[in-house]
Amino acid sequence: MRANQEIKMLKPDGRGPLTWIESGIHGCAMASVMLCSVAELFCNYGMCVSNYWWNIIEVSLWTLGLAILIPCEVYLYLEAGRIQKHRGAQVDLTQTRQFLMMMFVVCVAFVGHLFYDHIPMCIEMWQKKEAAGIPDRDFWDGLESAMFFRTQTDNWDNWKSDWLWQLAYFSGAVWMALFLATAPRAHVKMPAKKVEAVETKKNK
């Protein structure tokens, strides 16, 4: 959303109303946050009742929430490449384009992993539980267990289906979240005459 606003302001019609594409990008950004937030509710509920059906819904919402950002990132990357000047000043959007490219790669990789690996894993776990006839756990008992009980294990059989997403989630995703707070901004280089005029005005 921030990249969309910056690129919009640097266009010749930057002060005009948002186009339908720009409005769509804003909508996708907000929808992505909402989908991922709702997904976590399903995640926590599924964890408490030990039913992977809720995790299937959770991961599907995550997949949709990140997938809708991919075309937005491509559009903004191409638009940023077309902007060279703004009101006579040189504009450098190199960092913005690098940021958008990085986000594109992350979203494509994450959506691909969820679609081809994590969702099938959740479906398989849900089917195994259903076939075994194991009933759901009481929500409050499950919540208490999640909060107060821990079972440590080094057995690979307990980790082999989860190690990849947990490695990415608890390492790369954490640093990515921190990096989002320092997303690069556009650099507008004022002509020398304008800089001199501004300095003169300040001195007066």
Q: How many whole angstroms separate alpha carbon 59 and alpha carbon 121?
A: 11
Question: 66-83: per-residue pLDDT in tens?
Answer: 999 999 999 989 988 887
Q: Give 102's pLDDT tier (boundaries 50, 70, 90).
A: confident
The answer to whether residue 98 sits within a structural domain is: yes
Question: 39-60: per-residue pLDDT in tens?
Answer: 999 999 999 999 999 999 999 9
Number of structural domains in the chain: 1
The answer to whether residue 75 sits within a structural domain is: yes
Question: Which has the closest alpha carbon to 96: 176, 201, 6?
Answer: 6
Q: Give 192's pLDDT tier (boundaries 50, 70, 90).
A: very low
Alpha carbon 91 to its chain centroid, in Å, reads 27
> How confident is the model at residue 200, as a pLDDT?
46
Average pLDDT over residues 1-27: 76
> How confident is the model at residue 70, as a pLDDT?
95
SS (H, E, C) 51-85: CHHHHHHHHHHHHHHHHCHHHHHHHHHHHHHHCCE
The answer to whether residue 57 sits within a structural domain is: yes
**Quick check: 202 pLDDT over 90?**
no
Q: State the chain's mean pLDDT as an integer.
A: 82
Q: Give 14's pLDDT tier (boundaries 50, 70, 90).
A: low
Total-model pTM: 0.79
Q: Give 185's pLDDT tier (boundaries 50, 70, 90).
A: low
> How confident is the model at residue 151, as a pLDDT?
81
Provide the token pair at 103. Answer: 């986000």
The answer to whether residue 193 sits within a structural domain is: yes
Secondary structure letter of residue 196 according to DSSP: H
The answer to whether residue 189 sits within a structural domain is: yes
Could you tell me the residue range of the domain that residue 64 belongs to? 2-147+158-203
The answer to whether residue 153 sits within a structural domain is: no
Higher pLDDT, residue 202 or 168: 168
Q: Which of 24-28, 137-141, 193-197 has the lowest mean pLDDT?
A: 193-197
> How confident is the model at residue 191, as a pLDDT?
55
**Quick check: 183 pLDDT over 80?**
no
> How confident is the model at residue 196, as a pLDDT?
44
The answer to whether residue 152 sits within a structural domain is: no
Residues with Cβ within 8 Å of residue 11, at least 6 apart in sequence:
79, 83
The answer to whether residue 64 sits within a structural domain is: yes
